[in-house]
Structure 1
Amino acid sequence: MSAATTRRALAWAHGCLSVQSLGGMLGPVLFFLPDGRQVSPLHVAPWGNDPQRGTLPEILQELRGEWPCVPFGSDAARMLPDGWSVTGESFEGADVPHGHGSNVHWQWGDCDEYGISLICPYPENHPVRLLRRRIVPDPQAPAVDIALDIEVRRACRLPVGLHPTFRLPAQPGAVRIEPGAYERVRSFPGDVEPGVALFSPDRHWSSLGKVEVRSGAVVDAAQVPLAEDTEDLLQLAGIDGTVALHYRDEGFRARLSWQKEHFPSLLLWYSNRGRKAYPWNGRHVALGVEPVASAFDLGAAVSTADNPLSQAGTGTSVAFEPGTTFTTRYRLAVEPAPAG
């Protein structure tokens, strides 16, 4: 690895958390429930201490928890069906997976008993000037409030998103995804991972509970982990800014809320033992629960062009202006919930 990852930790009355410099990633977070139980819903990839991880892209080397992606996704050569194009805005660096900030070490800002701050300057030729984020535990609850600032050098449109990733038990269906109100579910227009894609491509449905797969069967995609080995994406368009994960066997919910005017979709990343190559090795089971203004993870050139999501009224990019700081706020909380 190019530099050693450093970490900051913070404890408060309702939990403790860790933040790392690489990617500015938050995780793990241990929450204390009112009944005395301790729960840790964020995912930490199992190869974090593997000596070979330095050969991986930086974003994967110590993959964990939650972090911002500016821009979201990456530009790449790919085959897309009719209705999708790569005619939008692109720039040098648009091919970096989930943006520069996901792949470099952030600088530490103010860190005290109340919160942790980080800053990430971007390269001089990049339209983004810097990212700043502040992670503040709620002193009254098992919850963490996060603020993200984005400053740009020039006027631009970018896909942007947040990347909370949650751990999943081994038992299929042990966790239920409980999204707020949304307009439609859309499937990825292609293969996320060749040979192990599950959902019928480039389709849309009214309910996450009834999604057609490539065999023609219908599955409840709200029950995770899935029984099948797969790597796939679904996007909930027009969502109201809330989602919960009910860990039914463990008796708690993890609840994520965000500003829907900034992130009008929720991208669900089903990482379900589908990727067999290193470091995934067919063992990776996690769920990305990602508020986005983006067309899947297809990058700037697709997300800023006309596409089926934007044509249906769901924004897939954000307009930025120099001299104006874009600030968005979101919250991760846990609460007891009935088991079963």
Structure 2
Amino acid sequence: MSGEAQAPLALEWAHGTLSVQPVGAMLDSLVFHLPDGPFAPFARRHWSPDAPDLRALPAHLRHLGAEFVCLPFGVGGPLRDIAPDWRPFGLERQNDPAHGLSANAVWTVAEQDADHLRMVLDYPADHAVRRLTRVLTVRADAPVLDLALTIEARHAARLPLGLHPILSLDVPEGSLHLDARFRRGLTYPAAVPGEAMEAAIGRDFASLAKVPARTGGLLDLARLPKAAPMEDVVQLCGVEGPVDVVFAARGAVLSLDWDRELLPSCLLWISDRALSGAPWEGRYRGLGIEPIASCFYFAASVSLADNPISAAGTPTSLCVTPERPAVIRYGLSARPL
């Protein structure tokens, strides 16, 4: 665990600053410089990763930052009130470690200069993945961060994969606006842990502004945060363009764009003051906007099965082969409103 104490790496350019932790090659902070001042759209943990009472947690939770890679994507665990169509799929199974080695191991710095950082992670010899390479590149002329993930494989395999940006919900009520186009939306097919789920269990929707609510009627998830604490998860299948997030109170827009041929869905994880245990303490305010080839946050075995999402035509895993490394490109950009 000594590698976890390594200092973050930093990049600074005319349009922003960022820092990256060796644990998970995790983007720890990202601040864009806009014409009217700094724009810091990402959530920040309020706890110390070295706190003694957090030692049993996965490394990605202890160090939770702004963005990281999950391979295999997924957590899993005990659930209640599972929708009938989902009961045969073993939703209680768990990934070990949660969100995979990529999110919890210490990566190696392979190269760093004024505008980019390249980090690598070798997987165990018995794993289908041989190596991950993560490159973060800033654009000299714009408030833009370009990212690329290369997956080299030992043998052909299917793997659930996810990218994990987390935006801040520590903004005025209803002032964060989501603009996302998608073919099909799904609410979580069980009760979300935290006792603060607002969406109905196991329902379809076509607009974030009209999501079936657990108490009846409709819930507007295109405008956050809500007045009351909330813990919810929805999956947007067949995403059809970048996801734009308007921070109305700040007068700025964050845009997340990615290779949707490889990661066709986007998971929204709304975690706003509802989780009371460590490390959350009822204080964390984050919105995960997570490009995925996965079935919600369930364990890899669920995503690799003929689950209700893949059976309906949206892939929940990524195919990798040794002959041709998979390269996923994505980007984070900011602009004034």
CA drift at 1:232: 1.3
Show the 5 A alignment for 1:161-240.
161-179=162-180, 181-240=181-240
SS of aligned partner of 2:302: helix
**Distance in 1 between the 2:33 and 2:171 partners?**
23
Query: What is the number of residues matched between the two proteins?
Result: 332
Q: Which residue identity lines up with residue 214 of structure 2 in the other structure?
A: R
SS of aligned partner of 1:19: strand
SS of aligned partner of 1:316: coil
**Distance in 2 between the 1:317 and 1:234 partners?**
18
Q: Quote the residue 2:147 is aligned against.
A: 146
Q: Quote the residue 1:132 is aligned against.
A: 133
* Contact 1:241–1:259 (CA under 8 A) maintained in structure 2: no
**Distance in 2 between the 1:7 and 1:202 partners?**
40
SS of aligned partner of 2:182: coil
**Distance in 1 between the 2:90 and 2:272 partners?**
32
Q: Quote the residue 1:322 is aligned against.
A: 322
Q: Which residue identity lines up with residue 46 of structure 1 in the other structure?
A: H
**Distance in 2 between the 1:332 and 1:45 partners?**
20
Between 239-248 and 69-78, the greater mean CA deviation after superposition:
69-78
**Distance in 2 between the 1:301 and 1:78 partners?**
16
**Distance in 1 between the 2:174 and 2:13 partners?**
32
Show the 5 A alignment for 1:1-340.
1-3=1-3, 4-33=5-34, 35-48=35-48, 51-52=51-52, 53-74=54-75, 76=77, 80-84=82-86, 85-86=88-89, 94-179=95-180, 181-337=181-337
**Distance in 2 between the 1:29 and 1:234 partners?**
25
CA drift at 1:77: 5.6
Question: C-alpha offsets along residues 242-278 of structure 1, whole Å, 9 cap, x if unaligned?
Answer: 1011000110000010011011111000001110011
CA drift at 1:152: 1.9
* Contact 1:117–1:135 (CA under 8 A) maintained in structure 2: yes
TM-score, normalised with respect to structure 1: 0.92
**Distance in 2 between the 1:150 and 1:102 partners?**
14
Which runs of no fewer than 5 residues in structure 1 stay unpaired? Answer: none
CA drift at 1:324: 2.1
CA drift at 1:87: 7.8
Q: CA RMSD in A?
A: 2.0
* Contact 1:87–1:305 (CA under 8 A) maintained in structure 2: no
Question: C-alpha offsets along residues 38-97 of structure 1, whole Å, 9 cap, x if unaligned?
Answer: 111122211136633434321111101111111110354656433334489x9xx94321
* Contact 2:194–2:274 (CA under 8 A) maintained in structure 1: no
Q: Which residue identity lines up with residue 234 of structure 1 in the other structure?
A: V
TM-score, normalised with respect to structure 2: 0.93
**Distance in 1 between the 2:89 and 2:211 partners?**
27
CA drift at 1:127: 2.0
Between 223-232 and 328-337, the greater mean CA deviation after superposition:
223-232
SS of aligned partner of 2:102: helix
* Contact 2:164–2:288 (CA under 8 A) maintained in structure 1: yes
**Distance in 1 between the 2:237 and 2:277 partners?**
31
SS of aligned partner of 1:192: coil
